[in-house]
A and B are shown apart, each in its own frame.
Chain A
């Protein structure tokens, strides 16, 4: 951390910390309004496809991608397309599977990442080499590991099971590094005094480090949630039975069968997307704080 402190004046570090804690004060002047305008324009560019997606799903009778007469406004709002999706596909089954798999993956991610991050805070021979290998594993594309992963899952008898889908998703390098950075920012004197009081290593991790790393943990939860909820390729490899289909698999299957109904396809996509958006809205404060804090610490 001393290197980072050396790069900034004390005041800079304080202002960054304020931003991290959610207190951003406008600097004033014409430039800030220019930034604001650019921000609004960029947001509009990013949000427009999402608006179009939602607009099509709220329209009935379903039209083509542009509608009979392309228009920005929604003429009549209805939730019928969503209702139709819920009736036409085994939506509740897919939703239940996605929830189970996501829960397993999130809980696994938080526990395994914490254990790995805590281990990395110790000094042991070859630590730097290990860290290098660990970090470089981020550059290995998933497509390379998918066949060995499939063989291992098959040998474990976990094909077409929730655990088989969730297990490879329960852990991530980036999440471990975020937790590692958070653990390292905690003064070692806290850990030492806990050790002197007779606390076990697991108690230090879950009883002392965890409560002091809530932002990093929330970031891990959100990243794991998004990753496992949206996972497509791995479940596609592992799952062949429709009873274990997740929502993205159901969506792909629906798109293959009903390619000519964009409004219904989009309605399904919105239903798949909704839990992620809601979760992010609930946890965004922690997420942003966790990501920033993992990069900037005193």
Chain B
């Protein structure tokens, strides 16, 4: 049985050795706190500001001129399977946009116009729904 003397002595020992400095100001706690502060102060706000799931871009020809009316096909890739491809058409400035792809982390994309088709590009994002701006060169 632990006597009252033992308990008193252990309590005194804990009081003497465990100050707030030894508990909170050690390298483990400092590194963890710094990591959390960095995450909450910089990483998380950046993610929140850029996770609308907008995949946009421009289709240009080899001389850099925008290509109007090109079909852009994108497909979400997952580890075991993939979603059905989706497509859109470029405007007069060669721009295209896929919106609300907030679950996307990896995808492939290509552009095509009048039987000319680009190589399929594979892209990954650093967080789900990261807004991305691409330039696709369609060699007509």
Contact = CB atoms under 8 A, between A and B. Distances in A.
Contacts of A61: 122
Given A200-B9, A206-B13, A207-B13, A258 B122 contact: no
A264 B79 CA distance: 9
Interface stretch (A29-37, A39-47, A80-88): A80-88
Contacts, number: 43
B2 interface: yes
A51 interface: no
A52 to B, nearest CB: 22
A207 B14 CA distance: 9
Interface in B106-133: 106, 122, 124, 126-128
Interface string B1-26: 01101100110010000000000000
A60 interface: yes
Interface in A133-190: none
A130 interface: no
Contacts of A258: 79-80
* Max chain A Cβ within 10 angstroms of own Cβ: one of B5, B9, B122, B126: B9
Contact of B5 (A200, A261, A282): A200
Given A83-B126, A203-B13, 17 more contacts: A80-B126, A83-B127, A84-B105, A84-B106, A88-B79, A198-B5, A199-B9, A200-B6, A201-B6, A202-B2, A202-B6, A203-B10, A206-B13, A207-B10, A207-B13, A261-B79, A264-B79
Contacts of B127: 83
A283 to B, nearest CB: 10
Contacts of A200: 3, 5-6, 9-10
Nearest to B122: A61
A270 B53 CA distance: 29
B27 A282 contact: yes
A47 B9 CA distance: 49
Interface string A77-111: 01110011001100000000000000000000000
Contacts of B80: 258
A200 B11 CA distance: 12
Interface string A56-82: 000011000000000000000011100
Contacts of A282: 27-28
Contacts of B28: 282
Nearest to A203: B9
Contacts of A83: 105, 126-127
A264 B105 CA distance: 14
Contacts of B126: 79-80, 83
The 9 closest A-B pairs by CB, nearest first: A200-B6, A203-B9, A202-B6, A207-B13, A80-B124, A200-B5, A200-B9, A258-B79, A202-B10
B25 to A, nearest CB: 16
Nearest to B127: A83
A87 B105 contact: yes
Interface in B60-104: 79-80
A198 B9 CA distance: 10
